[in-house]
Amino acid sequence: MLVARRRGWRAVLTAGIAAGAVLLPGVATTKASAAEAAESTPTPVTAGSMPTPQTNGTIFSVTIVGDTAYAGGMFTKARPDGVAPGGDGEVTRHNLLAFDLDTGELLPWTPEVAVSQTLQNYPGPYCREVEGPAWACDSVFQLEASPDGSELYVVGDFDQVNGEWRSRIARFDTASRELDPNFDPRATGRVRGLSATENTVYFGGAFDAVDGTARQRLAAVDTDGSLTSWNPSVDNEVFTVQAAPAQQRVLLGGAFNAVNGEQRRAMMAVDDTSGANVSWQARVPAGSEVVTDIATDSTGTAYFGAYDHSNNEVRFEGRTAIDIATGEADWWDGCYGDTQGVAVADGILYSASHTHDCAAMDEVTDDQYYRLLAETTTATETATATSNHVEKGDPVPGVLPWFPNTDQGPAGSAWQHGPWAVDATSEYVLVGGEFTTVNGKDRQSLALFGARDVPGSVDNGPKQALLTSPDLSRDADGNVTITWNTTWSAQTTNIRYEVIRRGADEPIHTVTQRNRPWNTPRLSYTDTEHTAGTYRIRAVDTDGNAIGSPSTTISASED
């Protein structure tokens, strides 16, 4: 159920569990009560997608700067929300676009990102086929704003922007959206991750030199573009870099096995001035993982996402929270399913992945793919079972009620990841990727979700298909027993069920049940006042979104 919101706050329904309801055998719950959960956990944004532009390709990075959303990736066209490919309003955009968060409309920012030479042999899926046949490697891999939001850094495979040489890294002024003519460091190969502080810009990728000086996949420049002496080295590609100035560290993630000659697979931290290795306790369990993204917050914690294609039974593919100062893990969620992007806002860790098994937390247990997920940033629970690399009793985060979903993307995609990137603020969650649908509706490569008080945010409430007509029977005393299937809401934990008897002024019974997409137990109630009647069920989530079931009748003449 998708409902567009108007401005204003919605009261939270607080109906408790009424006497007389029965949770049918075979379903057990170990979760906190609705009241305890409401007091202790943060609330994600709504789960219905708001208007955004669409592209004809893949978005690898998104970022929110003020009231503007930026997206970068591998695409050549952009079109308005709701328009089919090639339809009215489709315009040219070369791997970069911007749109207004309030309206979802494209902004007139049209930088030309390009590469000076094409390749005759297929170089891999990050390059697009052009006439020849040949391939152009000009993808944008990350967008990052300066700390004050006045500048936007862009990195990737390109070597030209607007006809000017910009070797894999460029900077734009966010007020004028003009290319900075004075910022021009030149890397010899792919730049995949970047992090900017007030004084320094750190970046990593697959290059071996910057401005003619040897640098092994990691480098830093001053904000004027001058190369600094910071010179750590890794033995394989860097996917993500995250500066942590308060701890005087730079966090690294990627496909490497060694940092500064020390064996460190996929994750490590180095000093932000000397580049030397610093104390780091966390280790990936399989030794074959690739850390894809790192996000930090004001608590001194870093959140890592990763993938692992080894098929090892024990592997890090989900998320972990690590104390930046010590490198000690606060928690691992133990989930299976590659994670491509992470973002943090208001105590919530949003991720772009295809999570499909979080048995350690007793969550995501239906073997379905959940490509967008929200978790608490802190460990709010303990593992209920030993699964993957998490042992029973270990601290784990809580899975929060935020279940929008996308498809995997085009059938011909080399990846079929669905979402690749996510950014979050208190008001919005912005998602980019290769998907072509969001919540079952056509929407390609971009999705936007708003907080409840954001005008135009869209609710995604209880699912109608699951709430079928109730089953009616009689107990030994001849009373009517009403049994029904529960449903789930994509944005609330609890749903209030009302048993409605035709002819009654009010529901004859209400009960509140915790539901998840993978846990929709059947409920039952016995009407001790009647031996016949017509009954239906109404389901209302805590945002007030309501659906109703068809009715069922049991007559007095039935045995």
Per-residue model confidence as pLDDT tens for the chain (559 residues): 444 433 222 222 223 333 334 443 333 333 344 334 445 689 999 999 999 999 999 999 999 999 999 999 999 999 999 999 999 999 999 999 999 999 999 999 999 999 999 999 999 999 999 987 899 999 999 999 999 999 999 999 999 999 999 999 999 999 999 999 999 999 999 999 999 999 999 999 999 999 999 999 999 999 999 999 999 999 999 999 999 999 999 999 999 999 999 999 999 999 999 999 999 999 999 999 999 999 999 999 999 999 999 989 999 999 999 999 999 999 999 999 999 999 999 999 999 999 999 999 999 999 999 999 999 999 999 999 999 999 999 999 999 999 999 999 999 999 999 999 999 999 999 999 999 999 999 999 999 999 999 999 999 999 999 999 999 999 999 999 999 999 999 999 999 999 999 999 999 999 999 999 999 999 999 999 999 999 999 999 999 999 999 999 999 865 4
- Where among 385, 403, 421 does a domain terminate? 403
Whole-angstrom CA distances from 238 to 149, 252, 256, 292 are 25, 7, 7, 9
Is residue 256, in this structure, part of any structural domain at all? Answer: yes
Order of strands across the sheet with 58-65?
A: 58-65, 68-74, 96-100
> Do 250 and 349 share a domain, yes or no?
yes
Question: 142 has which bridge partners?
Answer: 155
- Residue positions counted in the chain: 559
Please tell me whether residues 381 and 497 are part of one structural domain: no
Q: Which residue's entry shows tokens 């408790």? A: 16
- For residue 133, whether the previous peptide bond is cis, meaning omega lies within 30 degrees of 0, is yes
Q: For residue 486, what is the domain's CATH number?
A: 2.60.40.10
Q: Do 482 and 387 belong to one domain?
A: no
- Give the separation between CA 305 and CA 88, rounded to whole angstroms: 38
- 286 shares its domain with 375: yes
The answer to whether position 114 is within a domain reads no
| Same domain membership, residue 485 and residue 399 | no
- Residue recorded with tokens 């002819």: 503
Determine, yes or no, domain membership for 88: no
- Structure letter (DSSP) for residue 40: H
Domain presence at residue 241 = yes
The last residue of one of the domains, among 403, 431, 450, is 403
pTM for this predicted structure: 0.93
Domain boundary among 360, 380, 403: 403
541: CB partners within 8 A, 6+ apart: 461, 462, 489, 491, 492, 494, 495, 496
Three-state SS across 233-301? CECCCEEEEEEEHHHCEEEEEECCCEECCEECCCEEEEECCCCCECCCCCCCCCCCCEEEEEEECCCCE
Q: Are residues 391 and 522 in the same domain?
A: no
Classify the phi-psi angles of 177: left when phi > 0, otherwise alpha if psi is within -120 to 50, otherwise beta: left
Number of domains in the chain: 2
> Two tokens at 47?
């789960």
Residue spans of beta strands (DSSP E) within 101-190: 113-114, 128-130, 134-136, 140-145, 151-156, 160-161, 164-165, 169-173
* One domain, residues 361 and 505: no
CA-nearest of 90, 66, 45, 63 to 444 is 90
| Residue 42 located in a structural domain | no
Do 398 and 479 belong together in one domain?
A: no
Is residue 399 in a domain? yes
Beta bridge partners of 293: 305
Residues 275 and 361 in one domain: yes
Q: Are residues 385 and 274 in the same domain?
A: yes
Asked if residue 377 belongs to a domain, the reply is yes
Considering the domain architecture, whether residues 320 and 395 belong to the same structural domain is answered as yes
| Domain that residue 254 falls in | 232-403
